Structure 1
Amino acid sequence: MSILKIREIQKEDNQQVAKVVRKVLLEMGVPKVGTAYEDEALDNMFATYQKPRMAYFVVEEKGKILGGAGIAPLIGLEENICELQKMYFLPEARGKGLGAKMMDACLKFGKSQGFKQCYIETLPYMQDARKLYARSGFRSLEKPLGETGHYNCTMWMIKDI
């Protein structure tokens, strides 16, 4: 039985995290433009999440990063709304309750930073993720919020925290 550990990202995790996110996005058939795939931050996640009111958590097993998720102010609505960002898991990490645990860690952090709501963007075919979000209390929105630049993400959800 191996031990899975959720912890904050470290500088030496950058390469593994970028690889995990891009691999999952390709697996899901996500467009490479207008999504997290082309975000500049992806190659330096540690530095990106060192700013105020931001955190990125990873799931590690025996030194291998299996997934991660971040929380940050929603650009354009920074004061009260945070955004759940780049939550992706390799196939071997799925179905173990890690998504719920990771989201809980992110939401607790967001609440501790004074945010009142959490926003997420997703895609229609990411059905397992959308089910998790709905089970966790997220509700659908009619249009996007903020200025994420992810114009290919066509589903938006929000939750009070």
Structure 2
Amino acid sequence: MNSVIIREITSKDNREVARVIRKVLEDMGVPKVGTAYADKALDCMSETYSREGACYFVLEVDGHVLGGAGIAQLDNFDGNVCELQKMYFLDQVRGKGWGRKMMEVCLSKAKELGYDQCYLETMPYMEDAQKLYKKVGFQYIDAPLGDTGHYSCPVWMLKKL
């Protein structure tokens, strides 16, 4: 890995980001219904995150997108809470600290945008991800917030910003 950068998504990244997310979800055996896999936004991520209060970042390694994560207002929730969304990385960049760096970038952007808390949903067997979330201050909560449409994700976490 000669060149590694975290930057905001552009429209030319859309196809590669969708491919990365779907590949990771398939590799992890995540259901294709009721999770990010089925989100219409996957094929137009730059446009989806161009709205106010949202931003998506990609991890680019030697000119190739190998992961990403974003933040956006939590849907169907009355409060100043954002959601950490679509944080996925291909195998070759996992376990190298890029998830933590990406999380720092996203949480910093969330604070800059004025959010008070950050929410996320995940799968029970995504234990490495949960360890990272706990390290940066996310705590488990007993029920989902808002309505993300990801009814197949039964683990909910929240962090005060």
Tell me the TM-score normalised to structure 1 length. 0.98
Runs of 4+ in 1 over 2 A off after TM superposition: none
Contact 1:81 1:118 in 2 (8 A): yes
2:51 is paired with a residue whose SS is: coil
Structure 2 counterpart of 1:135: 135
Unaligned runs of 5+ in 1: none
Structure 1 counterpart of 2:150: 150
Structure 1 counterpart of 2:71: 71
Overall identity of the aligned pairs, in %: 57
Amino acid at match of 1:113: L
How many matched pairs? 161
Amino acid at match of 2:12: E
Amino acid at match of 2:104: D
State the 1:62 CA deviation. Answer: 1.6
Distance 1:73 1:132, change over 3 A: same
Structure 2 counterpart of 1:14: 14
1:132 is paired with a residue whose SS is: helix
Q: Does 1:50 align with 2:41?
A: no
Q: RMSD value over aligned CA atoms? A: 0.9
Unaligned runs of 5+ in 2: none
State the 1:67 CA deviation. Answer: 0.1
State the 1:93 CA deviation. Answer: 0.7
Tell me the TM-score normalised to structure 2 length. 0.98
State the 1:157 CA deviation. Answer: 0.1
Q: Distance in 1 between matches of 2:16 and 2:128?
A: 23
